[in-house]
Amino acid sequence: MSEITATRMRSPALWRAATLVALAAGWAVAAWLLWSSSLVPGDLHLPKLDPHDFFSAHELTRTHHYERFLRVDTLLSLLALLAALGVWARKGVGFVRESAAGPIGTGILLAMLAFAIVWLAQLPFGLAELWWDRRWHVAHQGYFSWLLENWLGLGSGFVFVAVTIVIVMGLARLLGRRWWIVGAPVFVGIGILFAFLQPFLLVDGTRRVREPWLRARIAQLERIEHVEGIRVRVLEVHNETTEVNAFATGLGSSRSVYVYDTFLDDRFTHREVAVVVAHEFGHLERDHIWKGLAWYALFAIPGAYLVTRAVRRRGGLTRPESIPLALFVLTALQLAAMPVQSLITRHIEAEADWMALNATRDPQAAQSVFAKFTPIDLAEPRPPTWDYLIFEDHPTVIQRIAMARAWKLRHGR
């Protein structure tokens, strides 16, 4: 073989390697920019706190016992999820020969059957979690009501699955193995659309803020955090749970904050509720929903590529035989990424806590509201390390109390 021929043969491999390195470098730069945009001071050192200084031995034992069952239930549910999709990845191919719906129609059928199998595999663990929450008086929802909600949710799930398969297989038929170059941005666009529309879907079971003191505090915090015009609604959940929660959602003109009405049942002071609202406003002021979508894009693009590579032996995503395997690989990638995703969300939540401290300038109220999450939500103040790294998407109760104290020391309040 001549030297010129050998060089020509090596060129495509070198070009692919160079492209891969350039893409990886671009991914790393984008991830660093997203990570480093936090307002939390880089030199902030949280004091080391002992949970026993804040909670009684009975409270610590109680939360540990409660959380331990849920951890086991979650782990078993994830194993059942992988097992169900793994079996379907092997056995689902046999259904292709029995279908006369065409390639895309058969792909939709296989995906819907996978979705139904996953629902059945997860059902016992969901019921076990509800039973446990009812036993601990955290949940009041009945089993029939819970089952009905889950059953009705299958309809919207089937629609989403059908749309996804049409997009994936349609693009694969048009663009071949490079479908993901267009497909990943398309799914990011769908995520943006859903984030914008989500507040309009949360209509039932909500009410306007009627409490004068809360309306006044919301107006004040909106001015402080520069988020005027945010829609704040109260989510009425007291008939279903005693847990407390709040969340921010929406993009642009749809930006909204929802506060559980369990925050307003006199277990929390006005100052403590203000910290919660300020935290959610902090998410919106810092564009955390946009940043979450950007993180999603960073994972969606390589994820779509890896799924494409994994199904090549089944003819690629143009063929319905590849759909069960693609769903298994996608789920496995999502589970493998859980520690990284939890780390990212903890980082974002810590920034929102810092924003709330800056807005309210009330570290004592912040410390007390975080401390109440343990007896009310049965949140273990310091969970096991493995659980923290994999599942915890918020700083621990002790970390949040420590941040309030660190803010107080830094500002001399």
- Domain ranges in the chain are 64-201+306-336, 208-286+339-413
Tell me, letter by letter, the H, E, C secondary structure of the chain: CCHHHHHHHHHHHHHHHHHHHHHHHHHHHHHHHHHCCCCCCCCCCCCCCCHHHCCCHHHHHHHHHHHHHHHHHHHHHHHHHHHHHHHHHHHHHHHHHHCCCHHHHHHHHHHHHHHHHHHHHHHHHHHHHHHHHHHCCCECCCHHHHHHHHHHHHHHHHHHHHHHHHHHHHHHHHHHHHHHHHHHHHHHHHHHHHHHHHHHHCCCCEEECCCHHHHHHHHHHHHHHCCCCCEEEEECCCCCECCCCEEEECCHHHCEEEEEHHHHCCCCCHHHHHHHHHHHHHHHHCCHHHHHHHHHHHHHHHHHHHHHHHCHHHCCCCCCCHHHHHHHHHHHHHHHCHHHHHHHHHHHHHHHHHHHHHHHCCHHHHHHHHHHHHHHHCCCCCCCHHHHHHCCCCCCHHHHHHHHHHHHHHHCC
Query: What percent of the chain is modeled with pLDDT above 90?
Result: 80
Give how far Cα 118 sits from Cα of 70, 321, 390, 393, Å: 19, 18, 21, 24
What's the whole-number mean pLDDT along residues 147-159? 86
Give the pLDDT band of residue 4 (cuts 50, 70, 90): low
Enumerate residues 6+ apart whose C-beta is below 8 A from 170.
104
Are the C-beta atoms of residues 187 and 216 closer than 8 Å to each other? Answer: no
Residue 272 has pLDDT above 60, yes or no: yes
Q: What is the mean pLDDT of the chain?
A: 92
Architecture of domain 208-286+339-413: 2-Layer Sandwich (3.30)
46 neighbors 399 (Cβ within 8 angstroms): yes
Among candidate residues 123, 129, 31, 80, the one with its CA nearest the CA of residue 337: 31
pLDDT in tens, 316-374: 999 999 999 999 999 999 999 999 999 999 999 999 999 999 999 999 999 999 999 99
Residue 195 has pLDDT above 90, yes or no: yes
Strand bridging mode 231-235 / 206-208: antiparallel
pLDDT per position as a tens digit, 21-79? 888 898 899 999 999 888 898 888 999 999 999 999 999 999 999 999 999 999 999 99
At residue 47, the pLDDT reads: 93
- Confidence class for position 412, pLDDT limits 50, 70, 90: confident
